[in-house]
Amino acid sequence: MIPAPFEYVRPTTVEEAVQAVAEGGDDVKIMAGGQSLIPVMRLRLAAPETIVDLGRVAEMRGVREDGDALVIGAMTTHAEVIADPLIAQHARLIAEATETVADRQTRRRGTFGGALAHADPAGDLPSVALALDAEMVVAGPEGRRTVPAREFFVDYLTTALDEGEVLVEIRVPKLAGDWGVRYEKFNRVAQAWSIVAVAAAVRRENGHIAEARIGLTNMGPVPLRAPATEAALAGASASPDAVAAAARSAAEGTSPSSDLNAQADYRQHLAQVLTRRAVATAAGL
Amino acid sequence: MTRVSMRVDGVTYTDEVEPRTLLVHHLREALGKVGTVVGCDTSNCGACTVHLDGQAVKSCTVLAVQADGAEVTTIEGIGSTDALHPVQKAFHEQHGLQCGFCTPGMIMASIDLLKENPSPSEDEVREGIEGNLCRCTGYQNIVRAVQQAAREMSGTSETLGAQS
């Protein structure tokens, strides 16, 4: 299986990339690591006129600190994210979730920004970005703007990126205080996407849970938080019973799909179970 | 057509390719590197795994133009009949293959794993090569082979070979 013919452009700066997208015609597609795009092009599910390959845009790769935030270049590969010392120190949840993405070879090519911009509901990183209140820095013909994760994921495979815009970097607030994190993923075979997964970050204070942030993967067309559970956990005692009680509302307000992997009600059950496990582990229980 | 230049198994090749050409097709059809095979064509099986600048990738999921300027190592570039790579040797000795179709990719992924983790546990081997599917062996002997190779490569070779 071979992709349909396309024009290929390989910019080396963000400015060049934005320009290439603007000049790429009606059907231009931006390629990050290509680990989702090339497979769908091979199947001819996508046949873009122009591919703008970000692979040589060096400024979009790498992780740096900027005050209270980490800034992760959109073209930083999954393998680089996993090995990065700043992410290990300030945003370990991202590394933990990234370790579960696809397989070794795919993680060598696939990128953090590519996974977010692709916005697959079963992708692991959107819910993590949402749980960590990340912000997407986006470049377009009009300049740069910042989109909070809560507004970035709009619908199935659809983000707030306008036509002509490129996701450049992701700002992740450092977790300050005594935070524990956990990514609980449920799938059944090697390399598989999440049937459901839960990202949890929990801040402990004097034996209590001061604050919890929970991101749900594949519980609807976009990643979700679990607000009822987060509210129940705020100020709760750090005990298995309190966590279990709070986790029972994890699926409230979700609308997961039914497919060959799982029915919607089963996904809702999984969301509760995985939330309980993720929060308990994150809280050190 | 786009001009690409890459060093494959130590030899530099410069060719005109269509941007849509997958790296695996370029390797096999333009450069004759048929040791790298196409298994599934869906990015799952890992049979086409090669090293791109030292990292294992699925060459069916990389465009040849993306490898422009890169160093590519295929199964043909890691050893010779007279001097097998330790991972090749271990796959041979541990019967880590039956039909052999997945083997080039298994070996290239295993070398990548061992570079990162020179002494993987059984679980770490299974997870480390989860991007490679074998329909024959049930993985048992593949895991043994990778662990034997790990011991040999780290100079702690003992007698696992005698168990089989």
Q: Which A residues 96-115 touch B at CB under 8 Å?
A: 102-106, 108-109
pLDDT tens-place values along chain A, 285 residues long:
899 999 999 999 999 999 999 999 899 999 999 999 999 999 999 999 999 999 999 999 999 999 999 999 999 999 999 999 999 999 999 999 999 999 999 999 999 999 999 999 999 999 999 999 999 999 999 999 999 999 999 999 999 999 999 999 999 999 988 999 999 999 999 999 999 999 999 999 998 999 999 999 999 999 999 999 999 999 999 999 999 999 999 999 999 999 999 999 999 999 999 999 999 999 999
Residues of chain A contacting B18 with CB distance shorter than 8 Å? 5
Nearest-Cα distance to chain A for B39, in Å, is 12
Q: Identify whether residues B71 and B91 lie together within a single domain.
A: no
Q: Identify whether residues B93 and B155 lie together within a single domain.
A: yes
* Final residue in a domain of this structure, among B46, B77, B108: B77
Q: Which amino acid is at A118?
A: H
Is A174 an interface residue toward B (CB < 8 Å)?
Answer: no
Q: Do A106 and B56 touch (CB under 8 A)?
A: no
**Contacts with A271 (C-beta within 8 Å, 6 or more apart), sequence order:** A196, A198, A216, A219, A226, A250, A251, A254, A256
Distance of alpha carbon A31 from alpha carbon A52, whole angstroms: 6
Distance of alpha carbon A24 from alpha carbon B7, whole angstroms: 30
Residues of chain B contacting A44 with CB distance shorter than 8 Å? none
Following DSSP, what letter does each residue of A215-261 receive, concatenated?
A: EEESSSSS-EE-HHHHHHHTT-BSSHHHHHHHHTTTTTT------SS
Q: Do A104 and B129 touch (CB under 8 A)?
A: yes
Distance of alpha carbon A213 from alpha carbon A221, whole angstroms: 20
Domain of B66, CATH number, reads 3.10.20.30
Tokens of A98: 């990234």
Domain of B97, CATH number, reads 1.10.150.120
Burial B101-136 (b: 16+ CB within 10 A, else e): bbbbbbbbbbbbbbeeeeebeeebbebbbbbbbbee
* Final residue in a domain of this structure, among B77, B101, B122: B77
Whether A173 and A69 have beta carbons less than 8 Å apart is answered as yes
Phi, psi of A199 (to 5 degrees): -105, 130
Tokens of B38: 């196409």
Range of the domain at B99: 86-163
Query: What domains appear along chain A, each with residue ranges and CATH number?
Result: 7-54 (3.30.43.10), 63-173 (3.30.465.10), 179-282 (3.30.390.50)
Q: Identify whether residues B38 and B100 lie together within a single domain.
A: no
Per-residue DSSP letter, B30 = I
Q: Identify whether residues B68 and B97 lie together within a single domain.
A: no
Tokens of B70: 């890169």
Name the residue among A3, A10, A106 with its Cβ closest to that of B58: A106
Q: pTM for this structure? A: 0.96
Q: Do B62 and A191 touch (CB under 8 A)?
A: no
Is A6 an interface residue toward B (CB < 8 Å)?
Answer: yes
Query: What is the domain count for chain B?
Result: 2
- Which residues lie across from A181 on neighbouring strands? A201
Residue at token pair 């070398």: B111
Q: Identify whether residues B106 and B155 lie together within a single domain.
A: yes
- In whole angstroms, how large is the CA radius of gyration of chain A? 19
Q: Which of A9, A45, A78, A105 to mutate to test the interface with B (most CBs of B within 10 A)?
A: A105
Residues of chain B contacting A49 with CB distance shorter than 8 Å? none
